A and B are shown apart, each in its own frame.
Chain A
């Protein structure tokens, strides 16, 4: 029996922003395990965008599972459909190979939040399965816990990218607010110093007798 996991996240960004950010979510501070990302198919059908991307990731394996999983890299296929009219973005992700050992399938639906206008809701479902006789249950339990833990990291990484893309948003994670503010302060300081430097010769040329 596959293990099933579900979680709902609210992003403090509009659906359009989340949709744009989705394609740029790697790299982010939580995505060191993502090695490559390629688009392998893309087309517009009936006003919707259909894409398939191939993503490769490192695959850290606990000692006890090394007898089943010998590869250090795992390939993932991400299918997606973007419906700009109804503002629905669906992604469906599955691993390639090692399906008997552990298969992880994830579906995420991004849509406009009805409760919080201007925000986006992500409904994440995941199925974790293993066909290894005798070990299936343990592998599923391990995969389930790891997926659950990684969920927060995925959301954190995505939020980081969105905050950088759309910094004017008021509801940012605390540390992002700090970096943005200090950047703004620096920019203001630089601008005023530049203005002073430029103003000095003008002032001098206007008041030749004083210098």
Chain B
């Protein structure tokens, strides 16, 4: 998949490959240390955040927590 920043595509692909391997081979097997892909993630993040800024996408709005907070939408009570 493409990145929002064209220049970030290669960094994204490298990080994604690392992450997917870590997720399957470590995380799902109960190993929660995530330092394996951290250096790649850092480089990729620098690139993506710059691209977001250039495209006027508000980082604050993106990073806002909703899931698991009281701002999360609630299932309406059933009519029956």
A113 CB within 8 Å of chain B? no
Asked if residues A24 and B20 are in contact (CB atoms below 8 Å), the reply is yes
Residues of B close to A96: CB separation below 8 A = 57-58, 61-62
A81 CB within 8 Å of chain B? yes
Residues of B close to A39: CB separation below 8 A = 15-16, 19, 41, 44, 48
In angstroms, Cα B3 to Cα A42, docked, is 16
Asked if residues B2 and A79 are in contact (CB atoms below 8 Å), the reply is no
Interface hits, B24-80 → A, CB 8 Å = 24, 27-28, 30, 32-34, 41, 44-45, 48-49, 52, 57-59, 61-68, 72-73, 75-76
Q: A44-B32, A84-B27, A96-B61 are in contact. Are A38 and B4 (CB under 8 A)?
A: yes
A41 CB within 8 Å of chain B? yes
Q: A19-B28, A23-B23, A94-B66 are in contact. Are A35 and B2 (CB under 8 A)?
A: yes
Q: Inter-chain contact count A-B, CB under 8 Å?
A: 98
Query: B32 to nearest A CB, angstroms?
Result: 5
Residues of A close to B76: CB separation below 8 A = 4
Interface hits, A105-140 → B, CB 8 Å = 105, 107, 125, 127
Asked if residues B65 and A79 are in contact (CB atoms below 8 Å), the reply is yes
In angstroms, Cα B3 to Cα A34, docked, is 11
In angstroms, Cα B75 to Cα A127, docked, is 9
Query: A88 to nearest B CB, angstroms?
Result: 12
In angstroms, Cα B8 to Cα A148, docked, is 34
Asked if residues A92 and B67 are in contact (CB atoms below 8 Å), the reply is yes
Residues of B close to A47: CB separation below 8 A = 32
Interface hits, A146-183 → B, CB 8 Å = none
A85 CB within 8 Å of chain B? yes
Q: A54-B62, A75-B57 are in contact. Are A36 and B2 (CB under 8 A)?
A: yes
Query: A34 to nearest B CB, angstroms?
Result: 7
Query: A138 to nearest B CB, angstroms?
Result: 21
Asked if residues A49 and B15 are in contact (CB atoms below 8 Å), the reply is no
Asked if residues A16 and B28 are in contact (CB atoms below 8 Å), the reply is yes
In angstroms, Cα B11 to Cα A39, docked, is 12
In angstroms, Cα B76 to Cα A43, docked, is 31
Asked if residues A79 and B67 are in contact (CB atoms below 8 Å), the reply is yes
Query: B46 to nearest A CB, angstroms?
Result: 12
Asked if residues B62 and A42 are in contact (CB atoms below 8 Å), the reply is no
Sampled A-B contacts (24; CB under 8 Å): A4-B76, A6-B75, A19-B28, A20-B24, A23-B16, A34-B1, A35-B2, A38-B3, A38-B12, A39-B16, A40-B49, A43-B34, A44-B32, A47-B32, A52-B62, A54-B48, A75-B57, A77-B61, A77-B64, A79-B65, A82-B27, A84-B30, A90-B67, A105-B73
